A and B are shown apart, each in its own frame.
Chain A
Amino acid sequence: MLGILVLGALGAGAWWFFLRPGAPIAIGQEEHPVADFSFDLSKVNGTAPGGAVSGDGVDDAAEDIRETLDALYVAGYIDPSKWEGGTFPEVLEQFDEAAAERASAGLDQFTLGDQAEQVAFVEPVVGVLKIRVLFDAETDPVGAVATTRFVADGQLDRGGPMHVIHRGTYYLSPQGGSWRIGGYDVAGAVASGPRLTGPGAAQPEPGPSS
């Protein structure tokens, strides 16, 4: 009789610590792979004094800008190894000094925020990017405006779905070999529960057309 009780108690303890949803030491739950993510470049334009420009210079600048914005969203939403206890250092690295100061005061505007530790994984569903690059008379890129539309679904540690809907307009400048965000306008939501789909569902508005 006592043996049964002991085994029962051991089983209950083991379940509590290792197997229940949200257990501190999860055993038997597979680590969810981090999704690969890169924005789809839906539109790229170049502008210079005198009119539109195109070619490798525009494409190269757009690629570099995409790299910056990919890094922002991967570190903010997709890759748990970059959340670092809700401090998201790689997110702030994508901003210039003045914008980083402001962004750090509202980090949840670009990330899962201080509830990131409750999230098991996030998988991107939509990532669309439009870019317009400004060139000077010597055809060096000097600035850019980029709009993003990002939608992702995820799962909470305790079980149950969550989702991210994010729309952004970013003003970027080339600094030290990469592009940094100097200004932004973002809207959307991070929420638990399933993302509504179909007519009437809350979706980020498409970015402005150029």
Chain B
Amino acid sequence: MRKHPLIALFVSVSVWAVGGAVLADPPRAGAQATPPAPLGHPVDSSFLPSFADVAGRRTLFVLAIGSDARPGVCEPVERCLADSIHLIGINPREGGASILGFPRDSYVPIPGVGTQKINNALFAGGPELVVQTVEELVGVDVDSYFLTSFEGLKKMVNSVEGIEVEIPYAMNDPSSGAVFSEGLQELDGKQTLAFARNRKSTPNGDFSRSENQGLVMLGALERFRRDIRRDPFTLFTWLASGMEHIQTDLSAMELFQLSMATLTVNPNKVVNRVTPGGIGTAGGASIVTLGGEADAVFADIADDGLLEP
């Protein structure tokens, strides 16, 4: 029997329509028409470049130098004595950092000068010679340096409206102006300088002072992170102040990138230590002698930028 052509067409069209529907939207379980899944996702994400992103995976070493330059006493900043010298090691792989202070009376070989107190390296050859001295003493390559002065430190701290510092013990040193009770305190520029200069009202003189200077750096780091969390635009208050009061071999753009990376450093994970040594004399002057214990600390930080707590 010959089929009617319209029936064939009807069957074809029906198959086409139903099949198309099946292919286009397969039936779901229950055969009930269910509403489509709601579209959407939350947005909550942040990223700051780490030191690894900025400088690669290698360990970074930065030298922070504080000059005792003062108007009418000693100028310029880079040709006075180094009142504070700190080697900062940053390990991008571990996400950690260390601050190693050098007592300013450390009696060490200064390239081209001879064995002298380390603070004389700045006077003898500027920040580059301090870098060279520390490189040969510790056995590291220093990537960059920062140099500031008493006035520079005061102005920087004031420009960011003070920093919080954990004062480790009560101090009363009229000569530096360090009169503090123990505990976390908000310090302005003048107070910060007094705290960082005090060595008479401390348990261990020059060693304690160097350690306290490390505490100032940690206080500044904590404040820096808090400021940026509160208002990202304050990054430039910090940077502009740093660019005005710090001498460095970094370009402004490198400073900007490093400052972003610094935001990723947790101050609680930074080890702050001072190079151990003994007290002695040389040419009638009081000096700090660095022996085997110091060599062990140097080997520790040179290895990966990190110090044992």
Contacts and interface: CB of A to CB of B under 8 A. Distances in A.
A187 B43 contact: yes
A210 B233 contact: yes
B24 A24 contact: yes
Contact of B44 (A130, A140, A186, A210): A186
Contacts of A174: 253
Given A47-B240, A49-B240, A208 B231 contact: yes
A137 B236 contact: no
A50 B244 contact: yes
B38 A143 contact: no
A119 B47 contact: no
A145 B232 contact: yes
Interface string B22-45: 001000000000001011111111
A210 B256 CA distance: 18
Nearest to A158: B36
A196 interface: no
B4 interface: yes
Given A3-B6, A12-B17, A24-B24, A187 B253 contact: no
A106 B233 contact: no
A182 B233 CA distance: 15
A26 interface: no
Interface stretch (A31-39, A57-65, A81-89, A95-103): A95-103
Given A48-B243, A99-B49, A142-B252, 14 more contacts: A2-B4, A3-B6, A13-B13, A49-B240, A51-B240, A134-B256, A137-B243, A140-B252, A145-B232, A171-B260, A183-B47, A186-B46, A191-B40, A210-B231
Interface of B: 4, 6-7, 9-10, 13-14, 16-17, 20-21, 24, 36, 38-49, 53-54, 230-233, 235-237, 239-240, 243-244, 251-253, 255-257, 260
Contacts of A47: 236-237, 239-240
What 9 pairs between A and B have smallest CB-CB spacing? A136-B252, A143-B256, A13-B17, A191-B40, A98-B53, A185-B46, A49-B243, A192-B39, A188-B43
Given A12-B17, A17-B20, A136-B243, A106 B45 contact: yes
Contact of B41 (A13, A134, A135, A189): A189
B240 A208 contact: no
Contacts of B20: 13, 16-17
A5 B38 contact: no
Nearest to A210: B233
A173 interface: yes
Contacts of A45: 233
A102 B47 contact: yes
Given A9-B13, A183-B47, A145 B40 contact: no
Nearest to A132: B233
A161 B46 CA distance: 28
Nearest to A204: B43
B39 A182 contact: no
B217 to A, nearest CB: 21
A2 B40 contact: no
Contacts of B36: 158
25 contacts: A2-B4, A2-B6, A6-B9, A103-B47, A108-B43, A109-B44, A109-B45, A115-B41, A119-B39, A134-B240, A134-B252, A142-B252, A143-B236, A143-B239, A145-B236, A169-B232, A171-B235, A174-B253, A183-B46, A185-B46, A188-B44, A191-B38, A191-B39, A192-B40, A193-B38
